[in-house]
Structure 1
C-alpha cells in the first residue's frame, strides 16, 4: 500500500509542534518543503551556493518565527516560501549594493529553472503554469521581475519606463488574476 502524502492539516500540526519545541518537527517540515524552497531560491539567486545558504537560513528563521504562522493567511508552504523569498530579496539587494562578478546571469538558460511545485503534486504544477500563462506577457514579466528578480516597484518603473502607479496596478491585477485562477 503506498504511503499517503502529507496534507495541509498535517503541516499545520507540524508547525504547532514546532511552536511547542517538539523534536523532529523542524526536520519533518524541512523534508516536506526543502525541495520547492530550494528551487525558488535557486531561481531567484541563480547560484546554488547562495540558494543552499538561504535555504538553511529560511528554516532557521522558520524555527524562530513559527509562532507568527497564521493559518488564515495561508498554508504552511506559503509561510515557508515567504520567509525564503524575503531572505532572497535581502541577498539580491545586498548584491546590487556591492556588485560582484557572476558566472551566470538570470537570462542564462542554465539558470532559468522553473520554480516548480513539489514533485509529488504535478496537478498543482499544472495549475500554476496554466494560471501564469493566462496573464498577458508584460504583466507576467513584471510579476517575474518583482518576485524572482527582487526588483522594487521603483526599480520596475525605471526598467520598464512605466509610471509607478501603472506598475503597481498591473502587478495587483496580475496577482488578483493568479489568485482567481488558483482557487479550487
Structure 2
C-alpha cells in the first residue's frame, strides 16, 4: 500500500539525511542532533495534527527521535527517504497514543503554553510541502479526503472507519487505495 508520508519527491537533503543516519548507526550522537534540527519541525506538525494538543505532540516528537536513535539500523534507503522513515515512526507513535486514548478516555485539562523545549519554526520548504499536500488533498473528492484524514490523522483503522461511515470494509480499503494513488499522482512532477 502506498504511504501518504512517502508522497513527497526526494530532494538534495535526502543525501545529507542518509549520511546522518549512517553516522547515527555508528553511534555518532551529533548526527541525531542534526536530524532533529532538520526534521523536528515537520515531525512536530504531523504529531500536533494527529494528537491535537501541543503537550502530546511534544511527547510524541521526543519519543520519535528516541526511537530513531534506537532503530536507526533498521532504515533501508530502498524503502524511502530518511524523512519518510522519521515521519512513519512519528505516525505509528501517534496511532499508539490515539488508540490508548480511545481505550482509556482521559479528562481534558487546560494547559498553559509552557513548552518543554522550543520547536523550530517552519522552514520555507516545510511550507511548500504543506501547500503541496493541501493542494493535492483539495483536488480529491470530499469522501476520499475524509477517509484519508480519518486514517492518517484520526488514527482510525479500516474496521473503525467502516463502523463510523457504514461503508463495507472492502469499499473503505479500495477507496483509500484509490485516493492514495490519486494523491501520489498529483504530488509527483
Q: TM-score under structure 2 normalisation?
A: 0.84
Q: CA deviation at 1:126?
A: 2.7
Match of 1:11 in 2: 17
Match of 1:94 among 84, 96, 100: 100
Match of 2:140 among 112, 135, 140: 135
Match of 1:171 among 176, 180, 184: 176
Q: d(CA) in 2 for partners of 1:155 and 1:68?
A: 30
Q: CA deviation at 1:102?
A: 2.3
Match of 1:25 in 2: 31
- Residue aligned with 2:124, SS: coil
Match of 1:181 in 2: 186
Does the C-alpha gap of structure 1 residues 142 and 103 become closer, same or farther in structure 2, counting only changes over 3 Å?
farther
Q: d(CA) in 1 for partners of 2:66 and 2:18?
A: 18
Structure 2: gaps of 5 or more residues: 1-10, 111-121
Q: TM-score under structure 1 normalisation?
A: 0.86
Q: CA deviation at 1:178?
A: 1.2
Q: How many residues align?
A: 167
Whether 2:62 is the aligned partner of 1:62: answer no
Cα shift readout 1:81-132 (whole Å, capped 9, x = no counterpart)? 000000000000001111112259xxxxxxxxxxxxx522143333212211
Q: d(CA) in 2 for partners of 1:66 and 1:162?
A: 39
Q: CA deviation at 1:6?
A: 6.7
Q: d(CA) in 2 for partners of 1:168 and 1:161?
A: 13
CA RMSD of aligned residues (A): 1.6
Whether 2:80 is the aligned partner of 1:40: answer no
Match of 1:78 in 2: 84
Q: CA deviation at 1:54?
A: 0.8
Structure 1: gaps of 5 or more residues: 105-117
Cα shift readout 1:118-156 (whole Å, capped 9, x = no counterpart)? 522143333212211111000000000110100010000
